[in-house]
Amino acid sequence: MNQEVVITCAVTGSADTAQIHPHLPITPEQIARSSIEAAEAGAAIVHIHVRDPATGQGSRDPRLFREVVQRIRDSGVDVLINLTAGMGGDFYVGQEDPAVGGPGTDFINPIERLVHVGELRPEICTLDCGSMNFGDDLYVMMNPPPHLRQQAQQVKEWGVKPELEIFDTGHFWFTQKLLKEGLLDVRPMYQFCHDIAWGMPADVGLLKNMVDQLPPDTFWTSFAISRMQMPWVAQSVLLGGHVRVGLEDNLYLEKGVFASNAQLVEKAVSMVESLGAHVVGPARARELIGLD
């Protein structure tokens, strides 16, 4: 069991959830404010996507990232900023010609996906560690190994810590290869992502199997989406890890009751403390992650 727990809040994500949650953070001001509130509630890390303010859809516009990050930094609230680098890997198989991307495709070169990271130099950014059938339609999340190697090398040169996003067991296998190739720090940071169709289900055996194979001195977090979010908080802590909550992964505080990010963090804090562990702040989080 982990006694010192770091909470990450995934503030808004990029899924089409703005049509469901009436108060989902959409504008840079809303995303920054919700991030600050989550930090004040106990989150040491905020994981940030941005959205087009006009449509509510996910965006990778560097100007939007710039405004969110600047607002958080100007607030004076100490919190680790973790920017997504997952946008730009979307491929929708064309129905008329499968070799041509259909509507919604946004597949760009790997370094272009990191433009905002290179400009803003957050402490952490994500690295989605493999491709995956994402959901039940024609969408494939594309992350070819040569692209991932380029991204890993680039963020290492910038001094930004990659959070290794593991959506399936093959993704975990690939990270072991990156580690052997010297493309990761000797103290890697893992995020195990469960219950997203069609990746890993929320199966305790799967999580434990990967945790048992982690290199020594590894910082790891796991989460599950929707109704499994809070049970997975407890599961992660009991196996020795850290936790992630937030509106990217779950919109509800309880059945039929929409949540805020701060409320989800507060609930996670209560769960962690009820297990006999305690939640640590950003200064200790930096030490545990290897950012000090």
Q: What is the CATH number of the domain that holds 28?
A: 3.20.20.70
Is 27 strand, coil or helix?
A: coil
Q: What is the pLDDT of residue 164?
A: 98
Q: What is the pLDDT of residue 277?
A: 98
Q: What is the mean pLDDT of residues 3-16?
A: 97
- 201-230: per-residue pLDDT in tens? 999 999 999 999 998 889 999 999 999 999
Q: Which domain holds residue 192?
A: 4-289
**How far apart are the C-alpha atoms of 186 and 215, rounded to whole Å?**
9
Q: Is residue 15 scored above 80 in pLDDT?
A: yes
Q: How many CA atoms lie within 13 A of 8 on its CB side?
A: 33
Mean pLDDT score of the chain: 96
- Indicate the helix (H) or strand (E) that contains 274: helix 261-274
Joined together, the tokens standing for residue 249 give 């992964």
Domain count, the chain: 1
Q: In the structure, what pLDDT confidence band is assigned to residue 126 with cuts at 50, 70 and 90? A: very high
Q: What is the pLDDT of residue 216?
A: 82
Among residues 292, 275, 258, the alpha carbon closest in space to that of 2 is found at 275
**How far apart are the C-alpha atoms of 21 and 161, rounded to whole Å?**
31
Q: What is the pLDDT of residue 215?
A: 86
Q: What is the pLDDT of residue 85?
A: 96
Contact 82, 48 (CB under 8 A): yes
Q: Is residue 185 scored above 90 in pLDDT?
A: no
Contact 46, 281 (CB under 8 A): no
Q: What is the mean pLDDT of residues 183-212?
A: 95
Q: What is the mean pLDDT of residues 120-134?
A: 97
Q: What is the pLDDT of residue 213?
A: 95
- Indicate the helix (H) or strand (E) that contains 155: helix 145-158
- 19-50: per-residue pLDDT in tens? 999 999 999 999 999 999 999 999 999 999 99
Contact 127, 152 (CB under 8 A): yes
Q: Is residue 184 scored above 80 in pLDDT?
A: yes
Q: Is residue 106 scored above 90 in pLDDT?
A: yes
Sign of the Cα torsion 27, 29, 35, 40 reads negative
Q: Do the bridges between strand 45-48 and strand 7-10 make them parallel or antiparallel, or are there none, so unpaired?
A: parallel
DSSP code of residue 6: -
Q: What is the pLDDT of residue 258?
A: 97
- Outline where DSSP puts E strands in 68-200: 80-83, 89-92, 106-107, 124-128, 132-133, 139-141, 161-166, 189-194
Q: Is residue 292 scored above 80 in pLDDT?
A: no
